[in-house]
């Protein structure tokens, strides 16, 4: 801005003044390009958010399934330990009685 305004306040010849119309057109084009880039970034961010939401939902459903599987495995392990303990005591009782 200062560089563009300096020629108007200096004693330079009029031939060396910048073309204001070209400068304005260049600034308008840059603003349009920036607006397009912002729009593209917003669209990419929206897609990323949707994909992230799907991933989170998938992880949550997997977590629920794993908790259910872990509960089943614990139940089977408890039944197995109980059965083994009963078999051990039954065998010890049979050997003691013989």
> What dihedral do alpha carbons 79, 82, 85, 87 form, nearest 10°?
-60
**12 φ/ψ sector (left φ>0, alpha ψ -120 to 50, else beta):** beta
pLDDT at 22: 78
Of the chain, the percentage scoring pLDDT greater than 90 comes to 58
pLDDT class of 34 with cuts at 50, 70, 90: confident
Angle in degrees, CA 59, 61, 64, rounded to 5: 110
Question: What distance in Å separates the CA atoms of residue 89 and residue 72, rounded to the nearest whole number?
Answer: 26
pTM: 0.51
Q: Which residue has the higher pLDDT, 63 or 15?
A: 63
pLDDT band at residue 2 using 50, 70 and 90 as cut-offs:
low
Q: Tell me, rounded to whole angstroms, the distance of Cα 76 from its chain centroid.
A: 38
* Helical H segments across 1-98, by residue range: 2-9, 20-97
The residues, any chain, with a CB within 8 Å of residue 16's CB and separated by 6 or more, are 7
């Amino acid at each position: 801005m200062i560089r563009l305004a300096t020629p108007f306040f200096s004693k330079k010849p009029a031939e060396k003044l910048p073309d204001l119309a070209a400068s304005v057109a260049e600034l308008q084009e840059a603003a349009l390009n920036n607006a397009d880039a912002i729009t593209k970034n917003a669209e990419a961010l929206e897609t990323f958010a949707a994909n992230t939401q799907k991933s989170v939902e998938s992880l949550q459903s997997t977590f629920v399934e794993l908790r259910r599987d872990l509960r089943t495995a614990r139940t089977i392990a408890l039944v197995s330990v109980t059965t083994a303990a009963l078999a051990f005591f039954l065998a010890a009782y049979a050997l003691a009685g013989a």
